[in-house]
């Protein structure tokens, strides 16, 4: 098993911090939506918070498999805006930042000649690209619904019943 380069280790630790920060931001969005009566949106963002924490844990497990003890950085928590459309746009921005971070990880793994890490990270990047696209589509849908009288309430109830 190839040892992990210090540069890649540091970049993965930074990414773990980003994923945990995203989890906290989604948790804030969940709490804000729930406190204002948006049950469907709160359900979605609670699930997103859990998913982001799992992503961070997955990267930490990767380091553990490489016999590397992760130095846990304090998560960088972006302050979420108020309002459902603003929160949906914020979520899309978080997913875009995460995709950029993952692309940087692939670039670093390639530069330090770690093809196994580059392959693993490329697979994670492909999944992240899908998450980013879904967040962008969701934000667009929310903004379209917000522009129509009553449509945001209908969308919220659909998410509550069927999920997103």
- Number of H-type helices and E-type strands within the chain: 5, 0
Per domain, the residue ranges of the chain are: 6-162
* Tens digit of each residue's pLDDT (9 = 90 or more) over 57-70: 999 999 999 999 88
CATH 1.20.1260.10 fits 6-162, yes or no: yes
**Spatial distance between the Cα atoms of 95 and 29, rounded to a whole number of angstroms:** 14
pLDDT of residue 8: 97
Q: What are the φ and ψ backbone dihedral angles of 86, each rounded to 5 degrees?
A: -65, -40
Q: Is the pLDDT of residue 77 over 90?
A: no
pLDDT of residue 73: 75
Task: Give one DSSP letter per residue of 111-164, joined into a string.
Answer: HTT-HHHHHHHHHHHHHHHHHHHHHHHHHHHHHHHHTSTTHHHHHHHHHHHH--
Mean pLDDT for the chain overall: 94
Q: Is the pLDDT of residue 156 over 70?
A: yes
């Amino acid at each position: 098993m190839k040892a992990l380069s210090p540069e890649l280790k540091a970049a993965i630790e930074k990414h773990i911090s980003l994923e945990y920060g995203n989890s906290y931001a989604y948790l804030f969005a969940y709490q804000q939506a729930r406190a204002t009566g948006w049950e469907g949106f709160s359900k979605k963002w609670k699930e997103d918070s859990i998913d982001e924490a799992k992503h961070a844990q997955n990267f930490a497990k990767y380091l553990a498999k490489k016999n590397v003890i992760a130095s846990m950085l304090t998560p960088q928590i972006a302050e979420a805006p108020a309002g459902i459309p603003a929160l949906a746009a914020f979520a899309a921005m978080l997913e875009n930042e995460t995709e950029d971070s993952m692309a940087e990880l692939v670039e670093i793994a390639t530069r330090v000649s770690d093809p196994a890490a580059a392959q693993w990270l490329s697979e994670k990047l492909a999944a992240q690209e899908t998450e980013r696209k879904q967040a962008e589509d969701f934000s667009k849908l929310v903004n379209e619904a917000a522009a129509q009288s009553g449509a945001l309430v209908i969308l919220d109830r659909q998410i509550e019943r069927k999920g997103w």
